[in-house]
Chains A and B, each alone.
Chain A
Amino acid sequence: MKRLWNIFKQGIIFENPLLMLMIGLCSALAVTTSVSNAVGMGVAMTFVMLCSEIMISAFRKVIPNSVRIPIFIVIIAAFTTIIDYVMQAYFPELSKSMGVFIPLIVVNCIIMGRVEAFAYKQKVPDAIVDSLGMGLGYTWVMVGIAALRELLGNGTLAGTQVMPASFQPILFFTMSPGGFLVFALFISFNIWLKGRMAKAQAAKAGAAQEDAA
Protein backbone atom coordinates (compact mmCIF):
# COMPACT_ATOMS: atom_id res chain seq x y z
CA MET A 1 0.00 0.00 0.00
CA LYS A 2 2.80 2.36 0.98
CA ARG A 3 4.56 1.54 -2.28
CA LEU A 4 1.48 2.50 -4.30
CA TRP A 5 1.11 5.73 -2.32
CA ASN A 6 4.75 6.57 -3.11
CA ILE A 7 4.17 6.02 -6.82
CA PHE A 8 1.08 8.22 -6.61
CA LYS A 9 3.00 11.00 -4.83
CA GLN A 10 5.77 11.06 -7.46
CA GLY A 11 3.52 12.40 -10.16
CA ILE A 12 1.98 15.13 -8.06
CA ILE A 13 5.14 16.99 -7.04
CA PHE A 14 8.53 15.30 -7.39
CA GLU A 15 8.12 14.12 -10.93
CA ASN A 16 5.34 16.48 -11.89
CA PRO A 17 5.16 16.14 -15.66
CA LEU A 18 4.73 19.84 -16.32
CA LEU A 19 6.85 21.52 -13.70
CA MET A 20 9.66 19.04 -13.18
CA LEU A 21 9.99 16.94 -16.30
CA MET A 22 8.99 19.85 -18.57
CA ILE A 23 7.09 17.69 -21.01
CA GLY A 24 3.64 18.10 -22.49
CA LEU A 25 3.87 21.85 -22.32
CA CYS A 26 1.97 22.75 -25.46
CA SER A 27 -1.50 21.86 -24.27
CA ALA A 28 -0.73 23.12 -20.79
CA LEU A 29 -0.35 26.68 -22.00
CA ALA A 30 -2.83 26.68 -24.85
CA VAL A 31 -5.96 25.62 -23.00
CA THR A 32 -5.36 27.36 -19.69
CA THR A 33 -7.20 30.56 -20.57
CA SER A 34 -10.12 29.40 -18.41
CA VAL A 35 -10.57 26.97 -15.53
CA SER A 36 -13.25 24.91 -17.26
CA ASN A 37 -10.97 24.31 -20.24
CA ALA A 38 -8.16 23.27 -17.92
CA VAL A 39 -10.35 20.79 -16.07
CA GLY A 40 -11.65 19.38 -19.34
CA MET A 41 -8.15 18.92 -20.68
CA GLY A 42 -6.97 17.38 -17.41
CA VAL A 43 -9.80 14.86 -17.43
CA ALA A 44 -9.30 13.99 -21.10
CA MET A 45 -5.58 13.55 -20.55
CA THR A 46 -6.05 11.40 -17.43
CA PHE A 47 -8.57 9.21 -19.24
CA VAL A 48 -6.26 8.54 -22.16
CA MET A 49 -3.30 7.96 -19.87
CA LEU A 50 -5.24 5.60 -17.56
CA CYS A 51 -6.64 3.49 -20.40
CA SER A 52 -3.37 3.29 -22.33
CA GLU A 53 -1.33 2.44 -19.24
CA ILE A 54 -3.76 -0.33 -18.22
CA MET A 55 -3.81 -1.72 -21.74
CA ILE A 56 -0.06 -1.65 -22.23
CA SER A 57 0.71 -2.91 -18.76
CA ALA A 58 -1.71 -5.81 -19.21
CA PHE A 59 -0.21 -6.79 -22.56
CA ARG A 60 3.40 -5.95 -21.75
CA LYS A 61 4.52 -9.58 -22.04
CA VAL A 62 3.13 -10.05 -25.55
CA ILE A 63 4.23 -6.74 -27.07
CA PRO A 64 7.55 -7.39 -28.84
CA ASN A 65 10.27 -5.00 -27.80
CA SER A 66 11.28 -4.04 -31.34
CA VAL A 67 7.88 -2.76 -32.45
CA ARG A 68 6.65 -1.40 -29.14
CA ILE A 69 6.65 2.27 -30.13
CA PRO A 70 4.24 1.90 -33.09
CA ILE A 71 2.01 -0.29 -30.90
CA PHE A 72 1.99 2.33 -28.15
CA ILE A 73 1.09 5.00 -30.67
CA VAL A 74 -1.80 2.98 -32.07
CA ILE A 75 -3.19 2.29 -28.59
CA ILE A 76 -2.88 5.91 -27.50
CA ALA A 77 -4.41 7.13 -30.78
CA ALA A 78 -7.38 4.80 -30.32
CA PHE A 79 -8.18 6.20 -26.88
CA THR A 80 -7.60 9.76 -28.05
CA THR A 81 -10.12 9.21 -30.84
CA ILE A 82 -12.63 7.93 -28.29
CA ILE A 83 -12.26 10.94 -25.99
CA ASP A 84 -12.32 13.31 -28.98
CA TYR A 85 -15.67 11.96 -30.14
CA VAL A 86 -17.12 11.79 -26.60
CA MET A 87 -16.19 15.44 -26.03
CA GLN A 88 -17.67 16.49 -29.35
CA ALA A 89 -20.92 14.71 -28.52
CA TYR A 90 -21.44 15.69 -24.88
CA PHE A 91 -19.42 18.89 -24.41
CA PRO A 92 -19.51 20.54 -27.84
CA GLU A 93 -18.58 24.00 -26.53
CA LEU A 94 -15.63 22.75 -24.49
CA SER A 95 -14.48 20.67 -27.43
CA LYS A 96 -14.68 23.67 -29.75
CA SER A 97 -12.71 25.97 -27.45
CA MET A 98 -9.94 23.38 -27.04
CA GLY A 99 -9.88 22.78 -30.78
CA VAL A 100 -6.92 20.91 -32.14
CA PHE A 101 -5.48 20.21 -28.70
CA ILE A 102 -7.71 17.21 -28.02
CA PRO A 103 -6.44 15.22 -31.02
CA LEU A 104 -2.96 16.39 -30.08
CA ILE A 105 -3.14 14.34 -26.87
CA VAL A 106 -1.85 11.54 -29.07
CA VAL A 107 1.58 13.15 -29.38
CA ASN A 108 1.64 14.40 -25.82
CA CYS A 109 5.05 13.40 -24.51
CA ILE A 110 3.66 12.79 -20.99
CA ILE A 111 1.64 9.77 -22.07
CA MET A 112 4.31 8.37 -24.36
CA GLY A 113 6.93 8.92 -21.65
CA ARG A 114 4.93 7.22 -18.90
CA VAL A 115 3.96 4.31 -21.09
CA GLU A 116 7.53 3.74 -22.20
CA ALA A 117 9.20 4.37 -18.86
CA PHE A 118 6.61 2.90 -16.51
CA ALA A 119 3.63 0.94 -17.80
CA TYR A 120 5.68 -1.26 -20.11
CA LYS A 121 7.68 -2.56 -17.13
CA GLN A 122 5.21 -2.61 -14.24
CA LYS A 123 2.14 -4.52 -13.11
CA VAL A 124 -1.39 -3.27 -13.79
CA PRO A 125 -2.19 -1.87 -10.29
CA ASP A 126 1.06 0.12 -10.28
CA ALA A 127 0.28 1.43 -13.74
CA ILE A 128 -3.21 2.53 -12.66
CA VAL A 129 -1.83 4.39 -9.64
CA ASP A 130 0.94 5.95 -11.70
CA SER A 131 -1.43 7.21 -14.37
CA LEU A 132 -3.79 8.66 -11.77
CA GLY A 133 -0.91 10.39 -9.98
CA MET A 134 0.50 11.80 -13.19
CA GLY A 135 -2.98 12.81 -14.36
CA LEU A 136 -3.70 14.59 -11.10
CA GLY A 137 -0.27 16.24 -11.13
CA TYR A 138 -0.98 17.48 -14.64
CA THR A 139 -4.49 18.65 -13.77
CA TRP A 140 -3.59 20.61 -10.64
CA VAL A 141 -0.91 22.58 -12.42
CA MET A 142 -3.29 23.26 -15.32
CA VAL A 143 -6.05 24.42 -13.01
CA GLY A 144 -3.59 26.55 -11.03
CA ILE A 145 -2.30 28.31 -14.14
CA ALA A 146 -5.82 28.68 -15.51
CA ALA A 147 -7.21 30.10 -12.25
CA LEU A 148 -4.53 32.78 -12.14
CA ARG A 149 -4.92 33.66 -15.81
CA GLU A 150 -8.71 33.71 -15.74
CA LEU A 151 -8.86 35.71 -12.53
CA LEU A 152 -6.48 38.41 -13.72
CA GLY A 153 -7.35 38.35 -17.38
CA ASN A 154 -11.10 38.13 -17.15
CA GLY A 155 -12.07 38.73 -13.51
CA THR A 156 -13.92 35.42 -13.37
CA LEU A 157 -13.30 31.95 -11.95
CA ALA A 158 -14.81 28.98 -13.83
CA GLY A 159 -17.24 31.42 -15.42
CA THR A 160 -18.52 33.21 -12.29
CA GLN A 161 -17.59 36.82 -11.61
CA VAL A 162 -15.43 36.98 -8.47
CA MET A 163 -13.54 40.24 -8.84
CA PRO A 164 -15.39 43.44 -7.87
CA ALA A 165 -17.05 45.28 -10.73
CA SER A 166 -14.48 48.07 -10.54
CA PHE A 167 -11.72 45.59 -11.51
CA GLN A 168 -10.32 46.26 -14.95
CA PRO A 169 -9.44 42.90 -16.55
CA ILE A 170 -5.77 42.68 -17.52
CA LEU A 171 -6.08 41.24 -21.03
CA PHE A 172 -2.35 40.49 -21.08
CA PHE A 173 -2.92 37.35 -19.02
CA THR A 174 -5.38 35.71 -21.39
CA MET A 175 -3.09 36.37 -24.33
CA SER A 176 -0.05 34.27 -25.11
CA PRO A 177 2.69 36.41 -23.48
CA GLY A 178 0.79 36.25 -20.18
CA GLY A 179 0.60 32.49 -20.42
CA PHE A 180 4.35 32.20 -20.78
CA LEU A 181 4.94 34.57 -17.87
CA VAL A 182 2.54 32.78 -15.50
CA PHE A 183 4.11 29.47 -16.42
CA ALA A 184 7.59 30.82 -15.71
CA LEU A 185 6.39 31.84 -12.23
CA PHE A 186 4.92 28.39 -11.64
CA ILE A 187 8.15 26.60 -12.51
CA SER A 188 10.20 28.90 -10.35
CA PHE A 189 7.74 28.32 -7.47
CA ASN A 190 8.02 24.55 -7.85
CA ILE A 191 11.83 24.68 -7.95
CA TRP A 192 11.73 26.69 -4.72
CA LEU A 193 9.30 24.20 -3.17
CA LYS A 194 11.43 21.24 -4.16
CA GLY A 195 14.56 22.90 -2.77
CA ARG A 196 12.83 23.56 0.53
CA MET A 197 11.56 20.02 0.81
CA ALA A 198 14.99 18.59 0.05
CA LYS A 199 16.47 20.90 2.69
CA ALA A 200 13.86 19.89 5.28
CA GLN A 201 14.55 16.25 4.54
CA ALA A 202 18.30 16.77 4.86
CA ALA A 203 17.78 18.58 8.17
CA LYS A 204 15.61 15.71 9.40
CA ALA A 205 18.24 13.17 8.40
CA GLY A 206 20.93 15.28 10.10
CA ALA A 207 18.88 15.47 13.31
CA ALA A 208 18.32 11.72 13.25
CA GLN A 209 22.05 11.18 12.90
CA GLU A 210 22.78 13.43 15.86
CA ASP A 211 20.21 11.51 17.92
CA ALA A 212 21.91 8.27 17.04
CA ALA A 213 25.29 9.68 18.00
Chain B
Amino acid sequence: MTLLKIFVIALLINNVVLMRYLALCSYIGMTSDVGQSIGMGFAVTFVTVLATAATWPIYNLILLPLHLEFLKILVFILVIASLVQLVEFYLKKNVPGLYAAMGIYLPLITTNCAILAVTFENISNGYSFIESVVYSVAVSLGYLLAMVLLAGVRIRIKNSPVPKFVQGTPILFVATSLIALAFGGFAGLIK
Protein backbone atom coordinates (compact mmCIF):
# COMPACT_ATOMS: atom_id res chain seq x y z
CA MET B 1 0.00 0.00 0.00
CA THR B 2 2.74 2.45 0.92
CA LEU B 3 4.60 1.51 -2.25
CA LEU B 4 1.51 2.32 -4.30
CA LYS B 5 1.17 5.59 -2.43
CA ILE B 6 4.78 6.56 -3.11
CA PHE B 7 4.26 5.65 -6.75
CA VAL B 8 1.07 7.68 -7.29
CA ILE B 9 2.34 10.71 -5.39
CA ALA B 10 5.60 10.84 -7.34
CA LEU B 11 3.95 10.15 -10.69
CA LEU B 12 0.90 12.42 -10.61
CA ILE B 13 0.52 14.56 -7.50
CA ASN B 14 4.10 15.79 -7.21
CA ASN B 15 4.94 15.39 -10.88
CA VAL B 16 8.64 15.99 -11.24
CA VAL B 17 8.41 18.52 -14.05
CA LEU B 18 5.00 20.11 -13.66
CA MET B 19 4.82 20.44 -9.90
CA ARG B 20 8.45 20.49 -8.83
CA TYR B 21 10.13 22.27 -11.75
CA LEU B 22 12.92 19.73 -12.10
CA ALA B 23 14.54 18.81 -15.42
CA LEU B 24 13.11 21.85 -17.15
CA CYS B 25 16.05 22.27 -19.52
CA SER B 26 15.46 19.00 -21.31
CA TYR B 27 11.70 19.43 -20.95
CA ILE B 28 11.86 22.56 -23.09
CA GLY B 29 14.77 21.46 -25.24
CA MET B 30 13.84 17.91 -26.19
CA THR B 31 10.11 18.06 -26.86
CA SER B 32 9.94 19.41 -30.40
CA ASP B 33 8.98 15.94 -31.57
CA VAL B 34 6.91 13.20 -29.88
CA GLY B 35 9.30 10.37 -30.82
CA GLN B 36 12.25 12.29 -29.47
CA SER B 37 10.50 13.02 -26.20
CA ILE B 38 9.63 9.34 -25.72
CA GLY B 39 13.25 8.35 -26.40
CA MET B 40 14.52 10.87 -23.89
CA GLY B 41 11.89 9.83 -21.34
CA PHE B 42 12.87 6.17 -21.48
CA ALA B 43 16.59 6.96 -21.43
CA VAL B 44 16.05 9.01 -18.26
CA THR B 45 13.94 6.25 -16.70
CA PHE B 46 16.65 3.73 -17.38
CA VAL B 47 19.46 5.85 -15.92
CA THR B 48 17.43 7.02 -12.91
CA VAL B 49 16.64 3.48 -11.81
CA LEU B 50 20.25 2.41 -12.32
CA ALA B 51 21.52 5.48 -10.46
CA THR B 52 19.20 4.76 -7.54
CA ALA B 53 20.30 1.14 -7.44
CA ALA B 54 23.93 2.30 -7.35
CA THR B 55 23.81 5.31 -5.02
CA TRP B 56 21.54 3.91 -2.30
CA PRO B 57 23.98 1.09 -1.35
CA ILE B 58 26.97 3.42 -1.70
CA TYR B 59 25.47 5.90 0.74
CA ASN B 60 24.07 3.45 3.25
CA LEU B 61 26.84 0.86 3.18
CA ILE B 62 29.95 2.95 2.58
CA LEU B 63 29.50 6.67 3.29
CA LEU B 64 27.29 6.34 6.36
CA PRO B 65 29.40 3.82 8.33
CA LEU B 66 32.55 5.83 7.56
CA HIS B 67 30.91 9.18 8.51
CA LEU B 68 31.63 10.62 5.08
CA GLU B 69 28.14 12.05 4.47
CA PHE B 70 29.62 15.35 3.36
CA LEU B 71 30.99 13.67 0.25
CA LYS B 72 27.46 12.85 -0.87
CA ILE B 73 27.17 15.48 -3.60
CA LEU B 74 30.59 14.75 -5.04
CA VAL B 75 30.21 10.97 -4.99
CA PHE B 76 26.69 10.91 -6.41
CA ILE B 77 27.44 13.13 -9.37
CA LEU B 78 30.55 11.15 -10.23
CA VAL B 79 28.70 7.85 -9.89
CA ILE B 80 25.95 9.05 -12.20
CA ALA B 81 28.42 10.44 -14.74
CA SER B 82 30.44 7.24 -14.88
CA LEU B 83 27.29 5.13 -14.91
CA VAL B 84 26.06 6.99 -17.97
CA GLN B 85 29.40 6.38 -19.67
CA LEU B 86 29.32 2.66 -18.84
CA VAL B 87 25.76 2.30 -20.08
CA GLU B 88 26.75 4.06 -23.29
CA PHE B 89 29.71 1.75 -23.91
CA TYR B 90 27.68 -1.34 -23.07
CA LEU B 91 24.79 -0.42 -25.33
CA LYS B 92 27.08 0.56 -28.19
CA LYS B 93 28.77 -2.83 -28.14
CA ASN B 94 25.99 -5.23 -27.23
CA VAL B 95 22.62 -3.66 -28.07
CA PRO B 96 23.23 -1.46 -31.09
CA GLY B 97 19.51 -1.15 -31.83
CA LEU B 98 18.77 0.37 -28.43
CA TYR B 99 21.90 2.50 -28.66
CA ALA B 100 20.75 3.96 -31.96
CA ALA B 101 17.43 4.88 -30.35
CA MET B 102 18.76 6.16 -27.04
CA GLY B 103 22.43 6.93 -27.65
CA ILE B 104 22.16 10.58 -28.53
CA TYR B 105 20.27 11.33 -25.32
CA LEU B 106 22.66 9.59 -22.94
CA PRO B 107 25.37 12.28 -22.69
CA LEU B 108 22.68 14.87 -21.99
CA ILE B 109 21.41 12.90 -19.05
CA THR B 110 24.44 13.33 -16.82
CA THR B 111 23.42 16.83 -15.89
CA ASN B 112 19.69 16.15 -15.76
CA CYS B 113 18.79 17.49 -12.35
CA ALA B 114 15.84 15.11 -11.89
CA ILE B 115 18.18 12.14 -11.57
CA LEU B 116 20.44 13.74 -9.00
CA ALA B 117 17.42 15.03 -7.11
CA VAL B 118 15.92 11.53 -6.92
CA THR B 119 19.13 10.10 -5.49
CA PHE B 120 19.27 12.83 -2.84
CA GLU B 121 15.61 12.45 -1.94
CA ASN B 122 15.91 8.70 -1.51
CA ILE B 123 18.35 9.54 1.28
CA SER B 124 16.58 12.52 2.82
CA ASN B 125 13.17 10.78 2.80
CA GLY B 126 14.72 7.77 4.52
CA TYR B 127 13.42 5.30 1.94
CA SER B 128 14.38 1.65 2.05
CA PHE B 129 15.99 0.14 -1.04
CA ILE B 130 12.72 -1.16 -2.51
CA GLU B 131 10.95 2.15 -1.82
CA SER B 132 13.82 4.03 -3.46
CA VAL B 133 13.53 1.96 -6.60
CA VAL B 134 9.76 2.40 -6.77
CA TYR B 135 10.17 6.11 -6.18
CA SER B 136 12.75 6.45 -8.94
CA VAL B 137 10.56 4.55 -11.42
CA ALA B 138 7.56 6.73 -10.57
CA VAL B 139 9.47 10.00 -10.84
CA SER B 140 10.97 9.14 -14.19
CA LEU B 141 7.66 7.89 -15.58
CA GLY B 142 6.20 11.22 -14.46
CA TYR B 143 8.94 12.91 -16.44
CA LEU B 144 8.12 10.79 -19.50
CA LEU B 145 4.44 11.68 -19.13
CA ALA B 146 5.12 15.41 -18.95
CA MET B 147 7.51 15.25 -21.92
CA VAL B 148 4.99 13.45 -24.12
CA LEU B 149 2.19 15.82 -23.09
CA LEU B 150 4.19 18.92 -24.02
CA ALA B 151 5.45 17.36 -27.25
CA GLY B 152 1.82 16.72 -28.21
CA VAL B 153 0.80 20.27 -27.38
CA ARG B 154 3.73 21.64 -29.38
CA ILE B 155 2.44 20.02 -32.55
CA ARG B 156 -0.76 22.01 -32.14
CA ILE B 157 1.12 25.19 -31.27
CA LYS B 158 3.11 24.91 -34.48
CA ASN B 159 -0.07 25.19 -36.54
CA SER B 160 -1.83 27.85 -34.46
CA PRO B 161 -1.82 31.62 -34.73
CA VAL B 162 0.15 32.46 -31.57
CA PRO B 163 0.04 36.11 -30.42
CA LYS B 164 3.26 37.84 -31.40
CA PHE B 165 4.42 38.70 -27.89
CA VAL B 166 4.42 35.11 -26.64
CA GLN B 167 5.84 33.46 -29.76
CA GLY B 168 8.72 31.08 -29.25
CA THR B 169 9.56 29.98 -25.74
CA PRO B 170 6.98 32.00 -23.77
CA ILE B 171 4.05 30.10 -25.27
CA LEU B 172 5.65 26.82 -24.15
CA PHE B 173 5.62 28.05 -20.58
CA VAL B 174 2.04 29.24 -20.90
CA ALA B 175 1.08 25.77 -22.17
CA THR B 176 3.03 24.17 -19.34
CA SER B 177 1.24 26.39 -16.87
CA LEU B 178 -2.11 25.11 -18.16
CA ILE B 179 -0.96 21.47 -18.04
CA ALA B 180 0.27 22.02 -14.49
CA LEU B 181 -3.08 23.56 -13.56
CA ALA B 182 -4.81 20.42 -14.83
CA PHE B 183 -2.41 18.27 -12.81
CA GLY B 184 -3.37 20.28 -9.74
CA GLY B 185 -6.60 18.28 -9.85
CA PHE B 186 -4.74 15.14 -8.80
CA ALA B 187 -3.94 16.71 -5.44
CA GLY B 188 -7.12 15.31 -3.91
CA LEU B 189 -6.34 11.76 -5.00
CA ILE B 190 -4.58 10.74 -1.78
CA LYS B 191 -5.40 12.11 1.64
Residues of A within 8 A of B (CB): 22-27, 29-30, 70, 73-74, 77-78, 80-81, 84-85, 100, 103-104, 106-109, 112, 175-181, 183-185, 187-188, 191-192
The stretch among B44-52, B74-82, B98-106, B130-138 that forms the contact with chain A is B74-82
* A78/B111 in contact, CB under 8 A: no
Contacts of B169 in A (CB 8 A): 22, 184, 187
23 A-B residue pairs with CB within 8 Å: A22-B28, A22-B169, A24-B25, A26-B22, A26-B24, A26-B25, A73-B81, A74-B74, A77-B74, A100-B121, A103-B72, A103-B116, A104-B113, A106-B77, A106-B116, A175-B184, A181-B177, A184-B169, A184-B171, A184-B172, A185-B170, A187-B173, A188-B166
Contacts of B113 in A (CB 8 A): 26, 104, 107-108
* Smallest Cβ-Cβ distance to A105: which chain B residue: B73
* B174/A106 in contact, CB under 8 A: no
Contacts of B86 in A (CB 8 A): none
Among B73, B120, B177, point to the contact of A180 (Cβ < 8 A): B177
Give the interface size class of chain B: 35 or more
Contacts of A23 in B (CB 8 A): 25
Among A27, A175, A181, point to the contact of B174 (Cβ < 8 A): A181
What secondary structure prevails in chain B residues at the interface with A? helix
* Smallest Cβ-Cβ distance to A175: which chain B residue: B184
* A30/B21 in contact, CB under 8 A: yes
A47 CB, nearest partner CB in chain B, Å: 15
* B73/A103 in contact, CB under 8 A: yes
Contacts of A22 in B (CB 8 A): 25, 28, 169
Residues of B within 8 A of A (CB): 18-25, 28, 70-74, 77-78, 81, 111-113, 116-117, 120-121, 124, 165-166, 168-174, 176-178, 180-181, 184
Report how far A179 CA is from B121 CA in the complex, Å: 23
Report how far A3 CA is from B9 CA in the complex, Å: 51
B70 CB, nearest partner CB in chain A, Å: 6
* A29/B73 in contact, CB under 8 A: no
B136 CB, nearest partner CB in chain A, Å: 14
Report how far A160 CA is from B81 CA in the complex, Å: 43
* B117/A104 in contact, CB under 8 A: yes
A93 CB, nearest partner CB in chain B, Å: 16
B41 CB, nearest partner CB in chain A, Å: 17
